[in-house]
Structures are given as structure tokens and as C-alpha cells.
Amino acid sequence: MELEVKVTEAIHPYDIAQQITGLHDAEKTLAFLKLKGTLKSDVFSYLNKSEQQQILRQLGNKEIADILNSMSPDDRTQMFENFPDKLIKDVIRLLPDDERKLALELLGYPLDSVGRIMTPYYIQAYQHQTIRELLKQIQIHGKRAETLNIIYVIDENKKLIDDIHIGVLLLADENSTIASLMDWRFECLRSTMNKEEAIHLFEKYDKTALPVITENGTLVGIVTIDDIVDVIEKRDTEDIQKFGGLEALDLPYRDTDIFTMVKKRAGWLVVLFLGEMFTATAMGYFDGEISKAIVLALFIPLIISSGGNSGSQAATLIIRAMAIKEISLRDWWFVMRKEIKSGLALGSILGSIGFIRIFIWQKFGFYNYGIYWAPIALTVSLTLLGIVMWGTIAGSMIPFVLKKLRLDPATSSAPFVATLVDVTGLIIYFSIAALLLKGKLL
């Protein structure tokens, strides 16, 4: 078990950062200052934003400059997001000229664009270079590059013209030129492209890094897949939170103060509440029926929740499939047919169970639904069939409608679909009841 000890002996900066986060506020900066040399910047990049800000505010200028300087440009840009403007300015000022220029340039890209997560440290080559020259160049600049797996070939105007896998380079004769290895085919991202678009391209091209070009083809940086991992997790967190019926938090749960937390949740909760008020209105129209047949009221929660549940199932499936580009707008009819079949099957299952439930309760005396128990059971049963079908269709189609309107499909959250189905569900219920129980209970 010699190995065990070695692995645990080497305390990783991540773990130190975790320990610092666990300390009392007053002790955090002190503990951080005790760290030696490069460990400081390593640990710093693992701290979360509130700790980073707190520590930055208490450090001397020299120390701040050292830490920021040894962070990679993409990590630095990421860190600045959500920082107060004043702090960003104060801090950027401390960087050496070239790094400051770089930091400001990266911050100049739109917030959700690929430009924000790119790094300018990659290996570039020219057609006329020999492989020997390039390998020498890699020895000099390679240490800082984020990946050595791919070399990017540019022309004299810095236009990207090819990408070459390092394996191809290593296998070739050292005296041949880069030009002899080129196939003039490459995949790339655009600097102004949305970060989430980049996810799909990384998956499509199955690369660990992709070059970033401007509108006129100039190579300005590369994006590595480890930064895309963060983009994926952020997208999924946002989608999940939206789907849960609240605004995306932006910050981790831990770091979100109670005021923001309530604000992000109250918005949708109030909207849904106002929407759900129509159920009270709808039921107001039917209060005559309810007073004549109290028994109808008993099944209201059961019925509307079944519609809501089937709707939220359908919405989940479609929203996720859209997010990972598995289905697109033009698939709506394919989905519609599939969901009608599913809804029919699911509705029949619940409808049958509903009928059996009332039958058993009546037969074994758990509850007395009166002499009209059979038409009541039929009403509940048919309503369930109808509402599950309606929930399924609504849940699966609303994401398409939202996408068509260029809104985020994830907004059609489980609670949103449920609310919509609740109101219409009541109307379905009382309409079927009016039809089947006319002259009996009603």
C-alpha cells in the first residue's frame, strides 16, 4: 500500500481551497497568505467567487499581480464574470502591459460568447516552416500552450488555414515543410458564437480543442474541452432550475444570498399562482354542479395532478432532447404522433385504475358514492383518459411553440405545464360530468 500514502501525501490545491472555504471569514485571508509561492495562485483559482473577492480586497498590490499573472487567461476571464466592475478595474490595472491588453480584449467579447473562454496560448505554424523548426519552437513555447495535441497553421495575415495533429508531425521527416503535411481542412469556432453552440461542435467533431477565428478568418485563440465541460454543466444547471419552475440562480446555491434566492423563486411562483387563480374562477362557474354533487369535488386533485404529471413527463423528454440537439423544430409532427400514442396508452392505464378504485371503494364500503357510483366512475375514468392525453400533447408541444417564438424551451417548466393543464382539466372534467350525469346527479 505504498502507493496509497503517496497519493494522499500530496495535498491537492483543490483540497486546500476547500479547507480555506470552511474557515471563518476573518481567518480566510490569513490562511491564504500563509501558503507558499505558486501554491497561492493554484489554490486561488479553486476558491469560489465570494472568497476570491474577499481575499483580493485584503491583499497587497504586488501579491494580487503575482496571482493574476500566473492564472491562465481563460480562467482569469471566467473569474471576472460576476465580479463588481470596480474590482475588475482595480485588479486589471495591476497586470503587466501585455497581460492587461489581453485581459481587456477577452473581456470585450459578449458575456456568453466563445471569446470569453478562449486562451491565446496555442502552437501556431507557417506553411514554409520545416518540421525541425517547428519542433524547436514547441520546445520554447510549448510549456505555456494549453494543448500540444494540435498545431494550427496560419498564413501571413494570421488567417487560419489548417490544423495538424502532433502525431502526424512526429511521424514525418524533420526536413519536410509544414506545407507537405497540410490537407487544408479544419473545423473551427467563431469568436462571437454562443458558448452553448460550441458544445455541439465539440461533440460533432469529437475534438479536445478547437481554434477560434474572427469573421474574416483570423485565428485569435483556442478553446479547450475542459472549459466546455463547465459550459455544459452550467447549461444543464440552468435548464434544470428553469424546469423546476424558477429563474436560473447564476451563482451556486451556497453563494446565493437569501434575498436573491427569494427573488429568483418568487417571480415564477407568483406568475404560476396568478395562472392557477383561473382554477378558482373556473370552479366558480361550476359551483352549482359541485353543490349538487359534492362527490365530484373529491376527485379534483387526483384528476388535475394526473394531467400535470403526464404533461411534465412529456415536457421533460422534449426539452432535454432539444437541448442536446437530438430533435429540432421540424420534428414536431414526429413527436406529436408519438405523444398521441403514448398519451392514449397512459391515459387508458390511469383511467382503468381510476374506475377500479371507485368500484372497489363502493363495493367494499370504504366510501359511499351513492346509487350513481357507476356513471361517476365512468366520468372520472373518461376525464383521466382525456386529461392525460391533453397533458401529454400540451407538455410535448409547448417546448416547440416556445422554440418557434425564439424563447427558451426550458421555460415550459413542469409547474408551468401543470398550471395550464389544471385549468383546462377542470373544464374537461365538468363538461364530461355534465354530459354523463345530466338528469342523474346534476
| CA–CA distance, 108 with 91 (Å, rounded to integer) | 16
Tell the smallest beta-carbon distance from residue 8 to a second copy (Å): 11
**Which lies closer to a second copy via its Cβ, residue 65 or residue 290?**
290
**Which lies closer to a second copy via its Cβ, residue 80 or residue 286?**
286
Tell the smallest beta-carbon distance from residue 189 to a second copy (Å): 11
**Which lies closer to a second copy via its Cβ, residue 61 or residue 368?**
368
Give the start-end residues of each E strand in 206-272.
Answer: 209-213, 219-224
What sections of 364-413 are H helices per DSSP? Answer: 373-404
Tell the smallest beta-carbon distance from residue 194 to a second copy (Å): 18
Contacts of 401 (CB under 8 A, 6+ apart): none
* Residue 71: Cβ within 10 Å count: 18
CA geometry: angle 388, 393, 398, nearest 5 deg: 130
Contacts of 237 (CB under 8 A, 6+ apart): 248, 249
Tell the smallest beta-carbon distance from residue 108 to a second copy (Å): 23
Q: What residue has cell string 500540444?
A: 148
Tell the smallest beta-carbon distance from residue 41 to a second copy (Å): 13
Tell the smallest beta-carbon distance from residue 104 to a second copy (Å): 25
| CA–CA distance, 290 with 303 (Å, rounded to integer) | 15
Cross-strand bridge partners of residue 224: 209
**Which lies closer to a second copy via its Cβ, residue 33 or residue 240?**
240
**Which lies closer to a second copy via its Cβ, residue 55 or residue 358?**
358
288, burial (CB in 10 Å: exposed 0-12, middle 13-18, buried 19+): exposed
**Which lies closer to a second copy via its Cβ, residue 32 or residue 42?**
42
